[in-house]
Amino acid sequence: MVDDLKEAPFFSHPVLGTALAEWLTPTAIEIETDVPVLKQPPEVDFVLFAGGDHNTWTEMQRQRLPDGIRDADVSHVVIEFKYTESLNEDAFFQASQYYYKYREMKKLEPEQILGILMVSKSSMTGILEKGYYREEQPGVYASEVLILHRIKVLLLNELADTPHNAVFKYFASQMKERLKAFQKMQSELWPKFSKELQELFTGLHKQWFSNKGGLMPKPEEMTVDYYRQLGRESMRQMVQHLDAKELLKGVSMQERLAGVSTQERLDGISSQERLDGISSQERLNGISTQERLDGISIQERLEGVEPEELAKSLSPEFLEALIQNYKK
């Protein structure tokens, strides 16, 4: 497979860190970035931990974590992310060093923490040469070598095209894999994204897929705010080309009517249409007997009432007076 990093724009680790934080923190996963564990840089890229008193991930958290992490019964994960670098001995040494130093710093037991070497480029051959084997899930590699058995490797290009992998897989090197991840996010995750996260990924996608041959900003300008602004403008343009029916797709009736007064909701609807489907009893709720009878003649009121029924509803005194009056 060919890697497409030469066509991808530069992005800083804060962009990935922001995307992960906004995706994971709603489930109470806590994330630390650029964690110093050595006396001098470099630092640990990302640390994820379950948060609260959890010893491992909750079911809700697992739904947002990728293969290789979601199925690990740990409370902490130390992630070293390689975007442009290939896998080599230094990468494994660095990941191992971060894992052991962070575990020592936080006084964690081995079974509480996992090290992850997350790689954007495809390097399966290099992994197998280092004594790693592929686990059941595509893109997840583990080792039985003593010094590396707590360090897993995630090849983003190979991760399965599932919703729980999509956010991570979007940072793979191959353009076709990023495209599949974006389509998965749009079709299955978009309603779960915050507005800011939608803007961020839309901006990244526009830069990566719609700006070929265009002027590229300077690397230092490609910040989280830059991509969000780019995404905001792109989403605004898309909305302008959609009709009302398209815009309302996925919006519940309750959300559509929020803020619309009763009078506005009924505008243009005839009285007959308003009453369709409402039983006679429901229509009369809240209307007094006097109001119900207004405008109805005595003859109309008594239509269909048998004499016996009418007599039962009249008092003896009234009937006596009626008889006497009739005799006269």
* Domain spans, the chain: 5-210+223-228
Give pLDDT, residue 323: 74
Cβ contacts of residue 236 below 8 Å, gap of 6+? none
* The CA-based dihedral angle spanning residues 39, 41, 45, 50, taken in that order and rounded to the nearest 10 degrees: 10
Choice among 141-150, 159-168, 300-309 with the minimum mean pLDDT: 300-309
Give pLDDT, residue 141: 93
In contact, 168 and 184? CB cutoff 8 Å: no
Choice among 15-24, 44-53, 141-150, 202-211 with the minimum mean pLDDT: 202-211
How confident is residue 83, by pLDDT bands cut at 50, 70 and 90? confident
For 77, the 3-state DSSP assignment is strand
Encode pLDDT of 105-141 as tens digits: 999 999 999 999 999 987 666 677 678 889 999 999 9
Rounded alpha-carbon distances, angstroms, from residue 2 to 37, 45, 155, 199: 35, 26, 14, 28
Is the peptide bond between 42 and the residue preceding it cis, with omega within 30 degrees of 0? yes
Cβ contacts of residue 311 below 8 Å, gap of 6+? 319
CB-neighbour burial class of residue 5 (10 A; exposed 0-12, middle 13-18, buried 19+): middle
Average confidence (pLDDT) over 158-172:
96
Give pLDDT, residue 326: 67
CB-neighbour burial class of residue 277 (10 A; exposed 0-12, middle 13-18, buried 19+): exposed
Give pLDDT, residue 236: 85
- Give CA–CA dist 35/18, Å, rounded: 15
How confident is residue 36, by pLDDT bands cut at 50, 70 and 90? confident
Amino acid at 24: L
Q: Residue 217: left (phi > 0), alpha (psi -120 to 50), or beta?
A: beta
Pairwise pLDDT comparison (4 vs 291), residue with the higher score: 291
Q: What percentage of the chain exceeds 70 in pLDDT?
A: 81
